[in-house]
Structure formats: C-alpha cells, structure tokens
Amino acid sequence: MCRSRLKIGDSTIDERTNSKPNMNDNNVDLVLASASPRRKDLLAGLNIRFRIIPSDVDETVLNGETPQDNVRRLALAKARDVSPRTPGLWVLGADTIVVIDNRILGKPGDAEEAKTMLAMLAGKTHEVYSGYALVNSAFPDKEIIRNVVSQVFIRDLSPSEISDYVTTGEPMDKAGAYAIQGIGSGIVQRISGSYTNVVGLPLCEVARDLQELGIFDFLKANACNDC
C-alpha cells in the first residue's frame, strides 16, 4: 500500500490575531493566497504540501478592464500581497470571474442579485476566466502570470427554479452565482475547456508550472515505490 503525503492545506492564519504560521521549506511547498475552499480542495488533490494565507486585495473591476486583464491583475496582486509575509516561499494567487455578453459577474451581493445573475446566464453560453500567478520574493524574475478561459452552457431555468437554487445558499459566495462542483452541477448542461478552471483554479496549467519551476512534481511525488 502506498503511503500518502501529509496534507496541511487546512493550516491557516488566525485572522483575529493576525498570527503567522511557522513555515519553512521543509514543511511546505507552496502558499495559497486564497481562502477559497474550492481552490484548497483542488490543490489538496495533488497531494502538495501548502498553507493558506488569504490576501486582502480590493477586487473591484477597473473601468475599461478586459476579463483577461482583470483576472491576471488580481491574481498577481493577491500573490504579491502575501509574498512579503512568506520570504523564500512560492505564493499562488488566483482570481475567477464569469463573463456574459461582455459583462463581468463577480460574487452576488445578495439573493436578488444572485437571481438576476442566474437569469442572465440561463439558456446561454458564458465564459469563465481564471487568472493565476506564482510569485517568490527571492526570484522576482521568475514570476508567472497566466489566465485560462472555459465556456459553460447553463440550461433554461424558470423563475421558480432560480429562486429555489438561490434558497439553497450555494450561489452566494460564487462568481456568477453558481457552483459547478455542487448543486449547480444540475443546471450546467455542458462545458468546453478546463473543468477545474470553472471551479476556480486551472489545475492542469498550475501543476505544469509547479513542475517547470521546480516547486512540486505531482507525478513523482505521488509515485508508489512499493507497488
């Protein structure tokens, strides 16, 4: 039987005390600058050792900003916000938005806004953009900033179905007011592109960059020498 690697992705900073975790290169491979449970779960699936230190970046969309520019800017800002607190460690920042008819949809502010967003998406194809950045203050010339886009088609929804879905509470902290990995999977008819990108982190691309930077090789790390 293979021995699984230690997962410490649920080790977080206590925001009330603003205390810092005791980190060194022997304990973690990466720092995730996000409090998103979806990104945490995706990274944990690679068996990478990481800690979570949420960034404190204003996510307001700038006037005239394209979806690509928005997610890339915010992903980099989040990683750079956390990096000074984790000298010598690589930091992963990420941001995800939903775009319909050239309009950027973030997280709904309340139930009515969630209903409005879902009504806009129903019966149409929209885009999901995720940007991510890998930053290490010790290697400023090796920063990586990328974005990935996927297309998602949500089936037609009646007003009562939209209301029922919003009542579940799931849409309230999700870009575009739905979660493809949760109850919302029942309204997503098809996607084109990366599924994990829609969840919140394009894992294939991130894993490849972690390999190329020498941070973490998920294939070698998970090899079973006893098999």
31-35, 186-190, 222-226: range with lowest mean pLDDT? 222-226
What pLDDT does residue 9 have? 41
| In the block, residue with structure tokens 């575009």 | 176
Are the C-beta atoms of residues 79 and 92 closer than 8 Å to each other? yes
Give whole-number Cα distances, 54 to 85, 122, 123, in Å. 11, 32, 35
Overall pTM > 0.75: yes
Q: Which residues contact 184 (CB under 8 A, 6 or more apart)?
A: 165, 170, 171, 174, 178
Q: Is 95 a catalytic residue?
A: yes
Name the 3-class secondary structure at 187: coil
Name the 3-class secondary structure at 61: coil
Are the C-beta atoms of residues 49 and 5 closer than 8 Å to each other? yes
pLDDT digits (tens, 9 = 90+) for 61-74: 999 999 999 999 99
Name the 3-class secondary structure at 30: strand
**Catalytic residue, candidates 29, 81, 95, 209:** 95
What pLDDT does residue 20 have? 41
Taking the CA atoms of 57, 60, 61 and 67 in sequence, report the sign of the dihedral they define: positive
Q: Which domains does the chain have, with CATH numbers?
A: 30-221 (3.90.950.10)
- In whole angstroms, what is the distance from residue 91 CA to residue 142 CA? 12
Say whether pLDDT at 123 is over 60: yes
Q: 3-state secondary structure string, 106-158?
A: CCCCCHHHHHHHHHHHCCEEEEEEEEEEEECCCCHHHCEEEEEEEEEEECCCC
What pLDDT does residue 84 have? 95
Say whether pLDDT at 173 is over 70: yes
pLDDT digits (tens, 9 = 90+) for 29-60: 999 999 999 999 999 999 999 999 999 999 99
What pLDDT does residue 5 have? 37
Name the 3-class secondary structure at 51: strand
